[in-house]
Amino acid sequence: MARHKGRGWHGRLLAAALGVTTLAAAASVWTAQADPVGGRQPQARVSTPDAPPQDRTVAKVAADIAHASDRGAQGVNITIDDGPDPVWTPQVLQLLKDSGTKATFCMVGTQAEAYPDLVKAVVAAGHRLCNHTVSHDTTMDTKSEAYQSQQILDAERMITKASGGVRPQYYRAPGGAFTPYSRQLAASRGMRPLGWNVDSRDFERPGVDTMVATVKREISDGPTVLFHDAGGERSQTVAALREVLPWLRQQGYSFGFPVR
């Protein structure tokens, strides 16, 4: 469920990120690493019981919230939240296959654990995985660091296990409830914090025409578009995607993944 539009809460989070934050609950020692765009990125080296040791195979990623597409100025990132769901995820996957579109699936840990075959199907189709916490708590930003750690790290384990060993490459806070702590923790595990620019509002089921019009009107605001494949009846989402995807291609957009 979306609580804030990406561009609305992004400014608030950037301001909050100016504060000095520690990751004592997740790692006791941090070293600064240069990220690919020249910033400074903390990297966990010595773990506590709250966080597993840093895997040497985990790619270093920035902790700021990503919105851009790896396809550049004409790229679009389709993101699908809250699943997987046994009714709607297969329909979304089929639609994406038919249209030749890749997407990023932000999965809830308990859903991934319940439907591992769907997680594997998402990976097999060439889509990417995103950590959407264990229980989709939209008040994450009001909770303790220990609670945030549990929600993020347990979901990472659930999704990775369900996928057969493929790690989520992004972290999206439920409702946009990021904190500086959660962003840094996710980044230390190789999961780039992921925002959105266009909220289709499909969670509210406003009607297919309204959802399509929202995407057409707001795609100039940025490339990352938010849809859902779980959390309720999603026939409107499927119908809206069926219209939106070819329209975006007609406008000269190509489909990619969020930058990492």
pLDDT at 57: 66
- Which residue in the list 4, 10, 67, 81 is annotated as catalytic? 81
Spatial contact of 107 and 123, defined as CB atoms under 8 Å apart: no
pLDDT at 58: 77
Superfamily (CATH H level) for 70-255: Glycoside hydrolase/deacetylase (3.20.20.370)
pLDDT in tens, 26-75: 333 222 222 222 222 333 332 333 444 455 567 789 999 999 999 999 99
228 is a catalytic site residue:
yes
pLDDT at 59: 79
Q: Hey, where are the domains in the chain?
A: 70-255
- Please state whether the predicted TM-score (pTM) of the whole model is above 0.85: no
229 is a catalytic site residue:
no
> Distance from CA of residue 130 to its chain's centroid?
4
Spatial contact of 195 and 186, defined as CB atoms under 8 Å apart: no
Spatial contact of 162 and 113, defined as CB atoms under 8 Å apart: yes
pLDDT at 171: 98
Spatial contact of 49 and 27, defined as CB atoms under 8 Å apart: no
pLDDT at 47: 34
| Contacts for 159 with CB less than 8 Å, ≥ 6 apart | 107, 109, 112, 119, 129, 131, 167, 168
Higher pLDDT, 45 or 184: 184
- Which residue in the list 67, 127, 228, 229 is annotated as catalytic? 228
**The pLDDT of residue 81 is above 90:** yes
pLDDT at 32: 29
Mean of all residue pLDDT scores within the chain: 84
Higher pLDDT, 31 or 19: 19
**Least confident span in 3-7, 23-27, 50-54:** 23-27
**The pLDDT of residue 182 is above 80:** yes
Report the alpha-carbon angle 133-36-154, nearest 5. Answer: 15
- H or E element that contains 76: strand 75-81
pLDDT in tens, 123-151: 999 999 999 999 999 999 999 999 999 99
pLDDT in tens, 212-258: 999 999 999 999 999 999 999 999 999 999 999 999 999 999 999 99
Confidence of residue 5 (pLDDT cuts 50, 70, 90): very low
